[in-house]
């Protein structure tokens, strides 16, 4: 049996199974679906033995469908309708049947395009095209289902084509983590998982479950043009996108992966043809601009050269001006990034700190407030790190936490103190620098800490620094 025959056989079997399930209705679907899944597992084994690379699998399957079995699409369309209606249950059955715990993750998915294809769950999520094709629905589902596993600020990156250009490794790792989280949640309490996060697992298996078209490869990306609203989400400024797509070589230099760079740039290029939503297009335009700068200048690409799992710095909110009121930033959940925003209309420190913490907690990343001349500047970092200009006066920074798994972190880290020590050593005749840690939205949830010089940092477990106290 040839490679394509193996893949094709699986797809055909799976498609038949889904189609039969669609005909049988929900109650009867279990057995039929199980039969299909048995076929799927057999097919998966054959395919896995033959085709190890997920991209190759997609390509082969897509080619097979296009060239050999167009008639299957009709059946699969029926299956898609069924999956749309019972996506969560289908996901449950599928995942249970094929051994989600073992991480096999082979499933029926990608029903949106009318293609039933074989996919590894992780590899599905690590395909930038899938995120580009259906970003809103994907994020919405993840927000409700996997918020504890990864903050929305991180997840948002997955839906940005340019983010995949900039940080393919980091995004792929994050996607993998989301998959692991879903698998863990499912195995821990399947019934609850189905109730709370069916959409999430449905996302993994049926990305187009809400009716959005999802294309599995660059060639099929054009299919998403049937849904202008969603396609627009990946649409950027034509000129800037062209700057990227026009020079795949440089993009590849940034990503270190020609294949991914090509896939993303090709997708962006096609997507520009369907721009129709200026608002959403703007959301991507700034990222595209950044990517263009990166691709245009290898020397400036350093920040993007590695993955940053656990420390992904969400990009600056597109369209954010140089100045803004903090209330506006909170309202839009803005991310100022390292560039920062000059705050306007600041009157009350307690209110300022409270809003900073809300914003920080909302995005799951640290925010830092500095004084620079007459200005108060707000910057953002990542979940466990923030950077402030060395010339700026560090007034305060936040310590966000995951309420599900962490306690508020009221104490300074060693780096917090060392940074102040560094400043004091540069200006030893002045008073020891001090700064605030904002670890809650209340006025008493602030810890002021000072430089210690070269003295050892007090041990908080032995009566050193306590929340609300100074030393």
Which residues of this chain interact with another protein, rule CB under 8 A? Answer: 170, 293, 299-300, 302-311, 338, 366, 368, 381, 384-391, 394, 397, 399, 409, 411, 413-416, 418-419, 421-423, 425-426, 454, 460
d(C-alpha 217, C-alpha 117), whole Å? 12
Count of Cβ atoms closer than 10 Å to residue 279 Cβ: 9
d(C-alpha 399, C-alpha 55), whole Å? 40
d(C-alpha 79, C-alpha 99), whole Å? 22
- Residue 371, SS3? strand
Q: Could you tell me the CA-to-CA distances from 457 to 396, 398, 412, 462 in Å, in that order?
A: 19, 20, 10, 11
Residue 39 vs 397, nearer CB to another protein: 397
Nearest to 97 by CA among 86, 107, 88, 87: 107
Q: Least distance from C-beta 309 to another protein, angstroms?
A: 5
Nearest to 89 by CA among 210, 211, 190: 190
Residue 61 vs 359, nearer CB to another protein: 359
d(C-alpha 423, C-alpha 400), whole Å? 25
Nearest to 406 by CA among 422, 383, 434, 426: 383
Q: Least distance from C-beta 125 to another protein, angstroms?
A: 19
Residue 404 vs 454, nearer CB to another protein: 454
Q: Least distance from C-beta 454 to another protein, angstroms?
A: 6
Q: Least distance from C-beta 311 to another protein, angstroms?
A: 5
Residue 130 vs 416, nearer CB to another protein: 416
Q: Least distance from C-beta 394 to another protein, angstroms?
A: 8
Q: Least distance from C-beta 203 to another protein, angstroms?
A: 25
Strand partners, 368: 379, 397
Residue 74 vs 300, nearer CB to another protein: 300
Q: Least distance from C-beta 20 to another protein, angstroms?
A: 46
Strand partners, 134: none
Q: Which residue has the tokens 């620098």?
A: 433
How far is C-alpha 104 from the geometric centre of its chain's CA atoms? Answer: 22
Q: Least distance from C-beta 301 to another protein, angstroms?
A: 9
- The phi, psi pair for 367, rounded to 5°, reads -120, 145
Residue 9 vs 310, nearer CB to another protein: 310
Residue 359 vs 411, nearer CB to another protein: 411
Give start and end residues of each alpha helix (H) in 134-277. 135-145, 152-158, 161-166, 168-188, 190-205, 228-232, 238-245, 248-255, 258-271
Residue 375 vs 418, nearer CB to another protein: 418
């Amino acid at each position: 049996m040839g490679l394509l025959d193996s893949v094709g056989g699986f797809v055909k079997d799976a498609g038949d199974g889904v189609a039969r399930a669609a005909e049988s209705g929900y109650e009867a679907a279990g057995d039929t679906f199980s039969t299909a899944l048995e076929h799927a597992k057999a097919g998966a084994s054959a395919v896995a033995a033959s085709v190890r690379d997920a991209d190759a699998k997609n390509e082969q399957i897509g080619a097979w469908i296009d060239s050999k079995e167009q008639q299957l699409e009709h059946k699969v369309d029926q299956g898609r309708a069924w999956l749309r209606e019972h996506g969560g249950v289908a996901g449950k059955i599928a995942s249970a049947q094929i051994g989600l715990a073992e991480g096999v993750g082979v499933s029926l998915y990608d029903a949106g395009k009318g293609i039933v294809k074989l996919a590894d769950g992780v590899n599905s999520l690590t395909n930038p095209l899938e995120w580009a094709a259906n970003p809103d629905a994907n994020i919405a589902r993840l927000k409700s289902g996997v918020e504890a596993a990864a903050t929305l600020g991180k997840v948002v990156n997955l839906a940005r084509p340019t983010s995949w250009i900039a940080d393919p490794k980091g995004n792929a790792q994050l996607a993998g983590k989301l998959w692991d989280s879903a698998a863990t949640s499912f195995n821990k309490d399947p019934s609850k998982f189905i109730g709370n996060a069916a959409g999430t697992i449905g996302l993994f298996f049926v990305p187009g479950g809400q009716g959005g078209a999802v294309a599995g490869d660059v060639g099929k990306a054009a299919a998403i043009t049937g849904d202008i609203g969603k396609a627009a989400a990946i649409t950027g400024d034509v000129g800037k996108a062209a700057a990227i797509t026009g020079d795949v070589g440089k993009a590849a230099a940034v990503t270190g992966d020609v294949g991914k760079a090509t896939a993303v740039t090709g997708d962006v290029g096609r997507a520009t043809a369907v721009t129709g939503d200026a608002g959403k297009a703007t959301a991507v335009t700034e990222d595209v601009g950044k990517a263009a700068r990166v691709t245009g200048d290898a020397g400036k690409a350093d920040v993007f050269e590695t993955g940053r799992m656990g420390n992904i710095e969400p990009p600056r909110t597109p369209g954010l001006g140089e100045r803004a009121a903090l209330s506006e930033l909170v309202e839009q959940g803005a991310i100022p990034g390292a560039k920062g925003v000059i705050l306007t209309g600041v009157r009350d420190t307690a209110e300022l700190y409270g809003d900073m913490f809300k914003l920080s907690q909302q995005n799951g990343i640290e925010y830092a407030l500095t004084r620079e001349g007459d200005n108060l500047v707000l910057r953002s970092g990542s979940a466990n790190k923030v950077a402030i200009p060395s010339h700026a006066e560090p007034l305060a920074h936040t310590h966000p936490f995951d309420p599900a798994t962490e306690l508020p972190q009221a104490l300074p880290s060693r780096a917090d103190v060392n940074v102040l020590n560094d400043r004091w050593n540069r200006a030893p005749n002045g008073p020891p620098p001090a700064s605030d840690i904002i670890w809650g939205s209340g006025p008493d949830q602030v810890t002021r800490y000072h430089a210690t010089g070269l003295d050892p940092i007090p041990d908080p477990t032995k009566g050193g620094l306590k929340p609300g106290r100074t030393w």
